[in-house]
Amino acid sequence: MTSSKKSAFFIQRESPIALLLIVGGSLFPLVSDNFFYIEVIKTAAIYAIFAMSWDILTGYTHEVNFGFAFFVGGTGYLSGILNTFFSVSPFWAVPVSALAAGIFGIVIGYLTLRLKGPYFAMVTMVFASILFTLSFIYTEITGGEEGISGLETFSDDLITDFFIVWAVMALTYFMLRIYAHSKHGIILKAIRADEDAAKSAGINTSYYKIEAFALSATLGGIGGGIFAHSQMHIGPTMLSGELSIVVVLLTMIGGLGTIVGPLLGAVCLSVLNEYLRVVEEYRLVIYTGVMILLIYLAPDGLINLKFIKNSKRLTYLFFGPRE
Amino acid sequence: MELLEINQLTKKFGGLLALSEICITVRERQLVGIIGPNGAGKTTIFNCLTGFLPIDSGSVLFDGMDINGKKPHEIVNLGLARTWQLVKAFFGLRVIEAMMVPSFSKRARAKQISGKNPSEVIENLLRAIGLEKKIGSQVDDLNQGELRLLDIARALATKPRVLLLDEPFSGLSYKEIAKVSQIIRNLNMEGLTIVIIEHRLRELMKLVQTVVVINFGQKIVEGSPQEIVQEPTVVEAYLGKRRAGVGLA
Amino acid sequence: MEILILGAVRGALYALIAVGYVLIYSVGGILNLAHGSYYMLGAYMTYIFYTLVFGTGGKLILILSSMLAVLSVGIIAGIVYYVLLRPRIESLTYVLVITLALALFISEIMSLFFGVAGTSVPSFVEGSRPIGGIQVINQQLLLFPVAAVILPGLWFFLKRTKTGQGIDAVAQQRDGAVLMGVNIVKVNLITSGLSACLAALAGTLIAPVSSVVPHMWVYPLIKAFAIAILGGIGSLAGSIIASFILGYAEVSSSFLISDQLTEMVTLFIIVFVLLFKPHGIMGFRLE
């Protein structure tokens, strides 16, 4: 009920589909030789990390963060700079950069404490825009439009890289699920429902809001760092508004405030995105168009659709027992 | 001993003087009622006491400590809890989760009797208030009366020394009011200091020992229920002045 | 002197964009993050009509294309409101997300058809003229008089015509207006179109002298929002004043510091305003 549980025990309460996906995906390289598919699933996993980290803040506080690229791209760039300019190994560069992202998360979280709704959304967007603009000013360091190339990968072998990424994704999933079901998650949901009532229950709401922001920032940063090093390149697209919006859409289409929804949504849509490469020219147009359609049809997310909620079996399948 | 001392409390909203030099003292174990017409400023007093509104001048002492400027959650953790006039509930949560929130507060954790199962504590609290059957429900499914009871339970879960109830009888049936009155009486007998804002005067007068009357942001009079109902200024506050030559009389 | 002229031009540009943004927000409660896209489409559609539909033609055809562009953007905005926004307009999150997604979608479509490099549109008025000792591009000068005509025209529409008064009423007190028999859907529809037309007008006027690229919707959107905050949401006059303040601030700083850093300065100012003063100069508090 409260705080973390031993692993064997909490697995029993997890979403069957998510577990299936995690286990199944990790076995994928054993059954397939196709490097392209492995890359696709690896990218999908990284987007899943983005979506889940975004969810722990916005899904649980309902303050919409439109500037997630700040943490994703920011960590990517920092890690890339540490790697290329200072020869720091990605195993150190990524965590350190993600920690920096977390610190920024604390700062921005603190500054935006009093902001609600559109103000919060806009400020986060502007912060990301600032970083984006900065990358075009200090081009000696950031490489401007071109970005930074030649980042080291985690290992020499594609398959090992995949397992590292998949493991991080799985870890992120379980960590966030535990967090969401812990007192932190319950308090966030209470703050989401009525912050004054939470305060009158003796809860320091500012602390928990900042904590969620920092967690979201750090995990998103880890995703960003991993992405940079697996592409061996970091460019301004990782700081762009487009990235922020895509993460928002993936999570919302999946289903806010569930962690499972974003995982499934991100994986499915990323795979779709890759599949659309057959019509590369139209890919982005179709991709964004499909996402708009999905949000329009299922504004609360696919996992929150009525027909799933009304069916005991489907609810169990997606959410696991009890939720 | 004086648990709550409100001295010359003044609160302005722009040009509007909402509270003017309010002085109220509440001793330990007292059961005090605050009454007054709508808009008199009663809830504003509660908001100032609990840190939700800043004070313009005057002082508020809780157990001798100046709590002006303290954040709402800090005040709760000192032992001063309040309920809400307009329903404020943790919609989207289950009842048991909603009751876990106050138990996560510093004060509740500090006062926790080790060895006691936390869910048992919550169950007992809900039983004391009459909501034990709803422990498995969603907050969204509770009715108005049940939400008010849940709010009281939420406040009690922080183990307060002083409980401020803002119109606890609002929206309840006579039977429910009788039940809640008994709960309040029991809590007071067990040592809880309680201050109640209410409009249901008949039920309130049966419950409290002292009544404070507020009108236009000022304290008009203070006394026992018997004294208060006969006070002409109080009658005037609620019913208006008697004017000769108007109407039938 | 240059700052005086260029600042006025910039202010007029921002005023056209921001007024539309504030209008649809105070009337319909819609925070339209695709507003910048309407500005962008104003530019692109002018190109489409002039170059693709008409092929060639003189100034007259150019002006006609421009009007058609503005009109078509207004119609698009109306459809967007009616189809996408109306079903779930109470949810701010939904509106924010779907308009932002729409902005991205439109940007991708423009990318698809016209590439990242951008397109060019000929000027309505060629050349430049010397004013106060410097050369000012004539096309830019157009903005100020156009704004000076359109904006008071808008005020007149809102205060004197029946439809406009209906719109004004909804902006002030939505429930009251409904009780008085105002058709909210119709009002929102007209306002959406009007708001988009204003943005498109700005876009079409600036197109010849500015880079028409698929991501030209981002900065105007952020600035429109900042101006709305500065000027006070709900006050058209406030947003006009704020537009000029921002316009002058930008132009001044681009003279004092380098061009690149100007954008940064603007963004930082916006952040400070948002973080520390979300009530603005005029207009009422946003709750």
* Among B49, B9, B67, B3, CA closest to B30: B3
Lowest pLDDT segment from A70-79, A297-306, B47-56: A297-306
pTM: 0.88
- Segment B58-73 shows an average pLDDT of 92
- Residue C212 DSSP code: B
The whole-angstrom separation of Cα A212 and Cα B171 is: 37
Predicted local distance difference test score (pLDDT) of residue A7: 46
In whole angstroms, what is the distance from residue A291 CA to residue C99 CA? Answer: 12
**Interchain contact C100–A (C-beta under 8 A):** yes
Q: Give, rounded to a whole angstrom, the gap between the first and last alpha carbons of chain A.
A: 12
Distance of CA C42 to the CA centre of its chain: 10
Cβ atoms B26, B196 nearer than 8 A? no
- What is the predicted pLDDT for the residue at B117? 82
B9-29: pLDDT as tens digits: 999 988 888 999 999 999 999
Question: From the CA of A208, how many Å to the nearest CA of chain B?
Answer: 12
Q: C80-110 pLDDT, tens per residue? A: 999 988 888 888 888 988 999 999 999 999 9
In chain B, which among 202-231 make CB contacts under 8 A with chain A? Answer: none
For B70-119, write each residue's pLDDT tens digit. Answer: 999 999 999 999 999 998 999 989 999 999 999 999 999 888 877 788 88
pLDDT for position A4: 42
Which of C101, C105, C80 lies closest to C24, judged by CA? C80
Percentages of chain A per state (helix, strand, coil), in multiples of 5: 80, 0, 20
- Least confidently predicted of A290-294, B102-106, C239-243: C239-243
User: Two tokens at B97?
Assistant: 């989760």
Whether B91 has its CB under 8 Å from any CB of chain A: the answer is yes
Neighbours of B175 (CB within 10 A): 8
Give the minimum alpha-carbon distance from A130 to chain C in angstroms, rounded to a whole number. 6
Does a structural domain hold residue C105? yes
pLDDT in tens, C217-228: 888 998 898 888
Nearest CA to C99 among A313, B108, A296, B89? A296
Q: Tokens 């055809």 identify what position?
A: C61
Which domains can be identified in chain A, with CATH numbers? 7-319 (1.10.3470)
Report yes or no on C284 lying in a domain: no
In a domain, C281, yes or no: no
Average pLDDT over residues A78-85: 91
Inside any domain, residue C213: yes
- Rounded to the nearest 10 degrees, what angle do helices A183-193 and A205-231 cross at? 110
Contact B73/A199, CB-based, under 8 Å?
yes
Question: Would C89 be classed as within a structural domain?
Answer: yes
Spatial distance between the Cα atoms of A228 and A293, rounded to a whole number of angstroms: 30
State both tokens at B191: 């040592």
The pLDDT of residue A323 is above 80: no
Find the CATH number of the domain harbouring C38: 1.10.3470
- Chain B touching partners, 3 or more CB pairs below 8 A: A
- Which of the residue ranges A229-233, B67-71, B157-161, C126-130 would you say has the lowest mean pLDDT? C126-130
* Closest partner CB to A119 (pick from C112, C222, C274): C274
Closest by Cα among C268, C232, C236, C233 to C249: C268
Phi then psi for A226, rounded to 5 degrees?
-60, -40
Q: Which domain holds residue C198?
A: 2-125+148-276
- Mean of the pLDDT values across residues C238-250? 87
Contacts of C82 (CB under 8 A, 6+ apart): C185, C189
With beta carbons under 8 A apart, name residues in chain A contacting B102.
201-203
CB contact A197 to B (< 8 Å) = yes
For residue C131, what pLDDT is reported?
66
Q: What is the mean pLDDT of chain B?
A: 89
The answer on pLDDT for C133 being more than 70 is no
From the list B198, B151, B155, B154, the residue with the least C-alpha distance to B177 is: B198
- CB interface of C with A, residues 195-234, below 8 Å: 218, 222, 225, 229
Residues from chain B that touch A1, judged by Cβ atoms under 8 A, are: 100, 118-119
Which of A143-152, B182-191, C171-180, C247-256: highest mean pLDDT? Answer: B182-191
- In this predicted model, which residue has the larger pLDDT, A109 or C282? A109
Residue C254 near residue A94 (C-beta atoms within 8 A): no
Which one of A3-12, B20-29, C140-149, C229-238 scores highest in mean pLDDT? B20-29
For the record, the structure tokens of A176 come out as: 């966030």
Number of other residues whose CB lies within 10 A of the CB of residue C259: 9
Question: Distance (Å, rounded) from C-alpha B204 to C-alpha B184?
Answer: 11
Cβ atoms A134, A218 nearer than 8 A: no
Residue C84 lies in a domain: yes
Hey, what are B225's tokens? 């229920």
Task: ipTM value, please give it.
Answer: 0.90
Q: Which residue in the block uniquely carries the two structure tokens 């405030």?
A: A257
pLDDT of B242 reads 65
- Number of C-beta neighbours around residue B8 at 10 A: 13
Q: Quick one: pLDDT band at residue A5, thresholds 50, 70, 90?
A: very low
Task: Determine contact: C271 vs chain A, CB below 8 A.
Answer: yes
Which pLDDT score is estimated for B245?
A: 60
Report d(CA A42, CA A26) in Å as an integer.
10
Task: State how far residue C85 is from chain A, nearest Cα, in angstroms.
Answer: 9
Mention every residue, 6+ apart, whose C-beta is less than 8 A from residue B89. Answer: A193, A194, A197, B98, B139, B142, B147, B150, B151
Q: How many domains does chain C have?
A: 1
Domain B1-80+208-241 part of CATH 3.40.50.300:
yes
Average pLDDT in chain C: 82
**Model confidence at A206: pLDDT above 90:** yes
Query: What's the pLDDT at A2?
Result: 42
Which tokens sit at C148? 């000076």
Beta bridge partners of B2: B27
- Give the residue, C165 or B92, on which the prediction is more confident: B92
Distance from CA of A68 to the nearest CA of C (A): 14
Select from A187, A196, A204 the Cβ nearest to the Cβ of B101.
A187
**pLDDT above 50 for A8:** no
Nearest CA in chain A to B49: A200
What CA–CA distances, in Å, run from C164 to B236, C15, C27, C75? 48, 19, 11, 18
Q: Where are the domains of chain B?
A: 1-80+208-241, 88-159
- Interface contact flag, A119 C84, Cβ < 8 Å: no
Alpha carbon distance A77, A124 (integer Å): 19
Q: CA torsion sign, B38 to B39 to B41 to B46?
A: positive
Other CB atoms within a 10 A radius of the CB of residue C186 amount to 12
What are the CA-CA distances from residue C24 to residues A92, A125, B137, C175, C192 (Å)? 49, 21, 41, 16, 6
Residue C285 lies in a domain: no
Residue C191 amino acid letter = T
Determine the Cα–Cα distance for residues C280 and C228; give it in Å rounded to an integer.
8
Answer for the pair C134, A307: CB distance below 8 angstroms, yes or no: no
